[in-house]
Copies of this chain bind each other. A is one copy, B any other.
């Protein structure tokens, strides 16, 4: 079984759910939900592959279209109940972030990028789908929310994969473990409202 394909599809599904939930919250129709879910789930990977100069897997492997369709259907039937859990969108987004920052880094390393570039591309893959989702839905991206250290778990995950790879300690199990740790870290950061300093030592967040 192709383990990294499974992780890729799972990440696509998680991000797609976050896109479809945002569509539901914004009152989009079912087609808008499918499109926003697809863009969120597949966008990060397309950006990654375009930067690597390889055919985007979303187009090379039609299997990648299954998770967004499943997500749109699930949200259509279930979102009434999930909306009672206010942080659902962020939890699924965290799952996508955790899986994509690791698989993105691995894909970049496999393509021969240097470690720094691979980590950067891993972060780009991890945060790309959610950023595209928020940008096309015309809202302030979660990525820049100063009350949320959104990108930090992705950075740590990408860095961890790169270090493990450099020391020859990389494998499917390690990859899954890093993804789980990123996911847990992200949820803890939401739960305990962890912060990093503002962009300016003297700045304030009032204008956000």
Binding site for B on A (CB under 8 A): 20, 23-33, 35-36, 46, 50-51, 53-56, 58-60, 62, 65, 72, 75-77, 79-80, 83, 113-114, 116-117, 120-121, 127, 131, 135-141, 143-146, 149-152, 155, 195-208
Given contacts A135-B136, A144-B36, contact A28 B79 (CB under 8 A): no
Task: Please give the distance in Å from A115's CB to the nearest CB on chain B.
Answer: 9
A199→B117 contact, CB < 8 A: no
B136→A138 contact, CB < 8 A: no
A83 and B50 CA atoms in complex are apart in Å by: 38
B144→A59 contact, CB < 8 A: no
A19 and B20 CA atoms in complex are apart in Å by: 28
The chain B residue sitting closest to A141, CB to CB, is B136
B199→A79 contact, CB < 8 A: yes
A120→B65 contact, CB < 8 A: yes
Could you list 28 A-B pairs, sorted by A, with CB under 8 Å? A23-B144, A23-B199, A24-B198, A27-B198, A27-B207, A28-B199, A30-B197, A30-B199, A31-B149, A31-B155, A32-B146, A35-B127, A36-B144, A46-B51, A51-B55, A53-B55, A65-B120, A76-B201, A79-B200, A79-B201, A79-B203, A80-B200, A80-B202, A80-B203, A135-B138, A136-B144, A138-B140, A138-B141
The chain B residue sitting closest to A138, CB to CB, is B140
Copies in the complex: 3
Task: Please give the distance in Å from A127's CB to the nearest CB on chain B.
Answer: 8
Given contacts A62-B117, A144-B35, contact A29 B197 (CB under 8 A): yes
B199→A143 contact, CB < 8 A: no
A195 and B182 CA atoms in complex are apart in Å by: 41
